[in-house]
Structure 1
Amino acid sequence: MDKDLVSIQESRVLMENAAKAHQELATFSQEKLDAIVEAMAESVSTQVERLAKISAEETGYGYWEDKVTKNLFVLQQVVTYLRTLKCVGVIARDDTQRTMDIGVPFGVLAGLCPVTSPVSTTIYKALIAIKSGNSIVFSPHPHATKCIKAALDCMIEAAEQNGLPQGSLAYMDTVTRDGTKELLNHPNTSLILISGVPGMAELGRFSGKPVIYSGTGNGPAFIERSADVPQAVKDIMSSKVFDNGIASGAEHSIIVDSCIEPQVRSLMQAQGAYFMTEEESCTLANLLFSESGKHRPGMVGVSAKQLASRSNISVPDNTRLLVAERKYVAKSDPYSRELLAPMLAYYVEDDWQDACEKCIELLLHVRNAHTLTIHSKNEEVISLFALKKSVGRLLVNTPASFGGIGLTTNLIPSVSLANRSYGQGMTADNVSPSNLIYIRKVGYGVRQVDEVPFKQEPIIQYHDRSIDAVQKVIQDALRMIQNS
């Protein structure tokens, strides 16, 4: 059998079934949807550790213990947040202004999940899709099919037992690029959710459908001279080593104010950071990336000690993070790219203005404008960074891996951090059910047309093109401006 043809046909059937199921799903009240979401979350909560272990074993990325943390974040903090939301039906009413907002689901969603965080992202997308009254069909990542399918099987069974129309939550069993392309382009697809699959972002854009793209970033972190330096270093270290550096919002480079650089370096070394020589940095870089610029297999999401061993770099036993000292951001420099491992590029700048420029260079280098972190007590500098940086989110005095998802900040709790990567995404939000609906506006009549006090100015036409006539036009115009 031709696997591509099977995959294409399967995607068509799934989308047709999802569209049919949505006709019934669209009639569900928020209370009924919430009951289904609770059942889905409860069912998968009993499988958290098992799914984390399957994910780590299947993909070879990260620590299963950290993946448990991600899964629990979704099933506890996110679910608690979802309980407070109203997404369908009347979601806002202003009795004074006589207006209402009606939440309306988009319809049928196509979902793609990343190999870096396959289980937590899949659970999250399934929950927010059903919460907002949408059907969703997943195309599992080819290198994470086992864990994604296991999570979905658990939720599908619980959802359908609690009244979800069959076909509303489904996944492709035979996954190929052509089949996924058919899924994205299918006439019934209303919205595309892509996480961490850059190769599919362009296909999504060419589909002509609205796309929400959320992936890993290339986020810099600036430690400014007024910062609580010990806390800043602790935050960055804990963030970047979490799940071996593959969290979506994790730091990929540090920019340090020169006057505090010795302190930062000393604190990082004390906490397990190894500063590589230039020769060691080059050796590791050649192993990390192929000539085409892609990450080599087996070099993503592994520990710092494993990376060092594979590069024949001798490091202390307590090494948790590898650091490459850099001066410039360059296309030819691998350390200007996304580092999906417990390693960081390290820059030193004389002041916050130069650091600001370095941050902009790094953000523009990969054009994904994902996340920027600043550690500072200077509110003026923080404000300038917030106003001037083209990013989806600016995090202040917090570990980026945890602050971005809303664990250590009050941002919307989400494991899908959108960004306008390559100009292909429609939002840069922390993706939530609110991004999966549109608002129908309702306005009651509160006055009659003849009650509206329109003020009509006389329209003056000039046909005389003499200098005197032109001067008169100018004078009349100035007089009208003054009177208004």
Structure 2
Amino acid sequence: MQLNEKDIQTIVDSVLKNVEAAIENRQPASHSPQPVKMKQLSPQSVSYRQTSSSNQDGVFENVDDAIEAASLAQKEWHQDYKLEDRNSIIEAIRKAVLEKVDYFAKATLEETKLGNYNDKVAKLSLTVEKTPGTEILQTETFTGDDGLTFVEQTPFGVIGAVTPVTNPVDTIVNNGIGMIAAGNSVVFNVHPSAKRISTEMVQLLNQTIVKAGGPANLITMVKEPTIESVQEIANNKHVKLLVGTGGPGMVKSLLKSGKKAVGAGAGNPPVIVDETADLKQAAKDIMEGASFDNNLLCIAEKEVFVLDQVADDLIFELLAEGAYMLDHRQVEQAMQLTLKENKEGVPGGCSYMARDYLVSKNWVGKDASLILENIGVQNVQTKLLLCEVDANHPYVQLEQLMPILPIVRVQSIDEAIEKAVDAEHGNRHTAVMHSNHIGNVTRFARAIGTTIFVNNGSSLSGVGFRGEGFTTMTIAGPTGEGVTSARTYTRQRRTVIASGGFNIKG
């Protein structure tokens, strides 16, 4: 039997009423403690404690102070605030960030020099509007002759979270809303290359929470983030859960901490286009996803495998959408510009050719037109560069995070699936297929095993951008949590009113 929230509240009220009546009817000894009724709180009436640690709206000089303050705030948040208080404070956060979306988009671009303004506005707006709050937390109930059981989602406590340079403020907002919705507090170790704008976002969130009646320091960060500060957060006994959004090295370090970790690692999403696809729509979707914010998102289309019989038509449609095709000489020039020699011999991909190269950080997230200018092509405005290469090319095997999209011709769907799976490198992140053949779609989805699989749409629809479902900036493929939300940041607890307990069915 499934109960709704109203039924659960009625049951709990009845049980508590019976308990209080039993206490009132007995004669306690003079030294026995008397029951204390909890104060009912609201965002307007709640007071909050200021910690003794010196800080500026959640930004602390050292890790220990940031964690101590977050720990005090979390205890108050969990014990003294109701769900309606969480909801009203989260709504205040949404409103405050939406009012400053333009500013944060410009300031993020100015500091990081990655991506583009319009897409940053769209990305942050999506994050604010479609990150779920407490509504995604659900209580499961079981009732029968042997009593009543509740399974509830409860907070971990203090969470340590690491954010990337590619989506700095978006990740803070997304993680922040989800984590406090679940009853936690969070200590952020932001990316050093985005620390100024990340600091401003953390301060805005703190100011908004306090103004709305919440506790100070529910969201904190260390002022000067480093690799060492990540380890300090991971090793602190008050931090109960670790969440990392970024590169594979960072995720691996969190997993070695001995604590539960939610890790969002690298991706290299392949796209397959078969002969049954709507090529015009496929081109439009690929253009949108691969060029969005200069391909900074890990879910974005990174390489295309297209059946040879429709390859020319797909390329024609992509060019009609505004893409620019590089010739062989320009591909070589672009490689010299955007890739660098892998002198240490560390594998950059699975193929022999990819082992010779690494992506140059200087060109991550840069405009396609700027890349063209630097290889001698002037006065061309485009958001996406195309190149025809084979499957072993570095642009296929490396996760570039640049608006350069390699296209690989294949002779069969079997070849397409095999090469797409190889290029994805087992990251289990995202894959896209444009096809109206349900058998082909099913085969690819099973073979690739990614967290997000999109059929006949842009990769962006996988996180709710012109698609259904909620959004996230932390896609936990390596650790299996998938598209994260407030539910990810909870631990299950079971409460049992056993034999002879409350039961209204009989």
TM range (shorter): 0.7 to 0.9
Pairwise CA distance, 1:437: 0.3
Q: Which residue of 402, 426, 440 maps to 1:381? A: 440
Tell me what 2:470 maps to.
412
Equivalent AA in structure 2 for residue 76 of structure 1: E
Tell me whether 20-29 or 180-189 shows the greater mean CA deviation. Answer: 20-29
Tell me what 1:353 maps to.
414
2:481/2:488 contact within 8 Å kept: no
Alignment of structure 1 residues 210-289 onto 2, 5 Å: 210-215=260-265, 217-289=267-339
Pairwise CA distance, 1:318: 4.4
Q: Which residue of 449, 452, 461 maps to 1:393? A: 452
**1:349–1:428 Cα change, 3 Å:** farther
Tell me whether 250-259 or 296-305 shows the greater mean CA deviation. Answer: 296-305
Alignment of structure 1 residues 408-447 onto 2, 5 Å: 408-420=466-478, 426-445=479-498
1:405/1:417 contact within 8 Å kept: no
Equivalent AA in structure 2 for residue 352 of structure 1: I
Q: How many residues align?
A: 426
1:321 aligns with 2:369: no
Deviations 1:410-431 (A, max 9, x none): 24322222221xxxxx225111
Deviations 1:348-402 (A, max 9, x none): 11121111101111112xx4221000011111111122222121111111111x2
1:165 aligns with 2:215: yes
Alignment of structure 1 residues 75-154 onto 2, 5 Å: 75-78=128-131, 81-82=132-133, 84-86=135-137, 91-95=139-143, 98-154=148-204
Q: 1:142 and 1:270 mapped to 2: Cα distance?
A: 40
Tell me what 1:467 maps to.
none
Deviations 1:231-284 (A, max 9, x none): 001100111111111123100000101111111111112222222233322221
**1:347–1:94 Cα change, 3 Å:** same
- Unaligned 5+ segments in structure 1 are 1-6, 421-425, 448-484
Tell me what 1:480 maps to.
none
1:285/1:335 contact within 8 Å kept: no
Q: 1:67 and 1:128 mapped to 2: Cα distance?
A: 20
Pairwise CA distance, 1:309: 1.4
Tell me whether 382-391 or 54-63 shows the greater mean CA deviation. Answer: 382-391
Pairwise CA distance, 1:67: 0.7
Q: Which residue of 404, 408, 428 maps to 1:369? A: 428
Identity of aligned residues (%): 24
Alignment of structure 1 residues 471-482 onto 2, 5 Å: none
Equivalent AA in structure 2 for residue 178 of structure 1: E
Deviations 1:108-152 (A, max 9, x none): 111111111111111111111111101101112111111111111
Look up the SS of the partner of 2:365 in the other structure. Answer: coil
Tell me what 2:83 maps to.
30
Look up the SS of the partner of 2:299 in the other structure. Answer: coil
**1:10–1:24 Cα change, 3 Å:** same
1:372/1:395 contact within 8 Å kept: yes
Pairwise CA distance, 1:217: 2.0
Pairwise CA distance, 1:198: 3.7
Q: 2:292 and 2:265 mapped to 1: Cα distance?
A: 17
Equivalent AA in structure 2 for residue 167 of structure 1: N
1:329/1:361 contact within 8 Å kept: no
